[in-house]
Structure 1
């Protein structure tokens, strides 16, 4: 016999009813926002293992791509000849596989945001290394006997400095989207302008601080920290993280910068460097930005943004469906 509160058992005794459907139980009313513990652990392990490998592959293959882009105006060779030549396998495997692995890390956000958030921690390490150029030189010297030079040059290219905070910010966007999947229309429209602007400002700060600090360290072999360069790197990495996270409020805001990066990357490989405005080469930030494009960093960042846009759409759809079920159950 079931106990009914109308029989004097009191509302607190109604919880022991055995004929209460599972979807009507108090536990079912509470929506579950996050992922399971196993999913979080697996995505963190995967991201922390795969992301450094992917970044290293990108740097390894991208160095050959960068050499081609820099000498495009002095050699009579097409991009097709490069890819079918001796360096082609290195470019295809390094850049292609590196981008695919980074995209797979972003794709784990469908299951859990923990892996991407962990990559944000790698971004903090990258920012510290770039803010202290002397530390970067020491790491280079210590690892040079065992690690290929092309991979170590990834630090000077700024690949981890840009990609790792970007991935971390995308993870934060997914965390928020799981709890509040329906952004306001006004914020979505504003984000189409503010998110790309934030990414651009952050990138300029990162490139300027990173390039200026590294150039001083290489010319003087000094381990001193230049305060302005260090501040630019740290604040730029933080702004990049927050701008990526803001994609939660404007789910399609990353599509525009992704398209721009793809066009700029293709243009840097198809046209000679003579077509690039002199003002770009006269700026340390401009030189660093072009180097990142030459080595495939633009392709990688664009792929990450586009995959995240799809992942964010899936996460938002699941969260809305879960909230609808919870609301119906509570009713």
Structure 2
């Protein structure tokens, strides 16, 4: 079993938290320009004018992928990023809290749009769940069998799709009440939808404990969907067939590049998961093949004499036991308790 050192955990936590924050910020910064450009000039998108925002998004994706790569050395960084996801989850369930926080710190518009459209809400719980699964694999790297692997490969896309749609629906509903209707009361439907959606997303990533390749199909699907942003006449008519609460948040979420970012996270995580599982299995095999201290009959200390049980098997004398009071061999004449 391979365990990360304390130093590796501390370093990966610092790196992962910083890179994840910067990555999400760059993704939303470039995505905001993309969103307004697509909605304003849906039929005439000039990719030349979007080179800068696209570069920001690409850099943000690279930073997020680097966060996943830290999982090779320690799961602590990814788990710490998962703890950060509590903020966007709370903001989505209780928009009034987000509005108060936004006004208190004078949040930049890029960050505001990112929270409103759910970019960190979708990405950060995924990273945290990856860290938890990697920690489990380090402790028990044995595969769970072909049957569970097949179930995981089928179940993961279903859970992730349902989770994203439910999360977006709850987020959009809550933000609509808060911003458009100025209703800042707690909406139970919003709370349940966001919480249930996040749980489904976490479960969809969690099944990779059974199937290491479960996220490959969702990654391919997300790449195709995000590529269709370049064909708005094809993508948006399909998205607008969904309920209004979903169509008000899902298209901006796609335009922000969240689908592409998540797809690359899935692909890099698959590589990291296979690497961690392989290393953990090798460490487990080495620990089993190498006798541990005190396991081998003569491994107590190279200069310590063998115990009586090693000289005389079957006498019941073992480590921590005293030799029997009765002599092990018949005493010689004139010796022993009855000798003269």
Asked whether the two chains share a fold, i.e. TM above 0.5, the reply is yes
Contact residue 258 and residue 305 of structure 1 kept, 8 A: yes
Going from structure 1 to structure 2, the CA distance change for 1:128 and 1:278 (only over 3 Å counts) comes to closer
Contact residue 169 and residue 243 of structure 1 kept, 8 A: no
Q: Provide runs of 4+ in structure 1 moved above 4 Å.
A: none
Task: Flag structure 1 segments of 5+ consecutive residues without an equivalent.
Answer: 1-31
Q: Which residue of 2 aligns with 1:310?
A: 271
Q: Which residue of 2 aligns with 1:260?
A: 221
Measure the CA separation in 2 of the matches of 1:256 and 1:286. 23
Deviation at 1:257, TM superposition (A): 0.3
- Structure 2 counterpart SS, 1:276: helix
Residue deviations 1:56-102, cap 9 Å, x none?
1100001112223324534x33xxx32x22x421331x201110000
Contact residue 43 and residue 115 of structure 1 kept, 8 A: yes
Deviation at 1:288, TM superposition (A): 1.8
Q: Which residue of 1 aligns with 2:117?
A: 157
Measure the CA separation in 2 of the matches of 1:220 and 1:171. 39
Which shifted more, 202-211 or 104-113?
A: 202-211
Q: Which residue of 1 aligns with 2:28?
A: 59
Contact residue 226 and residue 254 of structure 2 kept, 8 A: yes
Going from structure 1 to structure 2, the CA distance change for 1:47 and 1:267 (only over 3 Å counts) comes to same
Matched, 1:199 2:130: no
Q: Which residue of 2 aligns with 1:122?
A: 84
Match of 1:135 among 97, 107, 123: 97
Matched, 1:186 2:147: yes
Measure the CA separation in 2 of the matches of 1:192 and 1:47. 28
Deviation at 1:310, TM superposition (A): 0.4
Task: Flag structure 2 segments of 5+ consecutive residues without an equivalent.
Answer: 297-340
TM-score under structure 2 length normalisation? 0.81
Measure the CA separation in 2 of the matches of 1:275 and 1:233. 24
Q: Which residue of 1 aligns with 2:319?
A: none
Residue deviations 1:247-288, cap 9 Å, x none?
121100100000000000001223326752265354312432
Matched, 1:89 2:49: no
Task: Report which of the two structures shows the higher radius of gyration computed on alpha carbons.
Answer: 2
Deviation at 1:148, TM superposition (A): 3.1
TM-score under structure 1 length normalisation? 0.83
Residue deviations 1:155-176, cap 9 Å, x none?
0120010001011111111111
Measure the CA separation in 1 of the matches of 2:120 and 2:31. 13
Contact residue 72 and residue 271 of structure 1 kept, 8 A: no
Going from structure 1 to structure 2, the CA distance change for 1:315 and 1:274 (only over 3 Å counts) comes to closer
- Structure 1 counterpart SS, 2:79: helix
- Structure 2 counterpart SS, 1:60: helix
Contact residue 102 and residue 304 of structure 1 kept, 8 A: yes
Equivalent positions of 1:1-331 (< 5 A) are 32-74=1-43, 76-77=44-45, 81-82=46-47, 84-85=48-49, 87-92=50-55, 94-144=56-106, 147-181=107-141, 182-272=143-233, 276-277=237-238, 279-280=240-241, 282-330=243-291
Contact residue 13 and residue 80 of structure 2 kept, 8 A: yes
The aligned length equals 291
- CA RMSD across the alignment: 1.8
Measure the CA separation in 1 of the matches of 2:146 and 2:271. 19
Contact residue 228 and residue 235 of structure 2 kept, 8 A: no
Contact residue 229 and residue 235 of structure 2 kept, 8 A: no
Measure the CA separation in 2 of the matches of 1:136 and 1:281. 26
Contact residue 2 and residue 284 of structure 2 kept, 8 A: no
Higher helix residue share: 1
Measure the CA separation in 1 of the matches of 2:244 and 2:169. 8
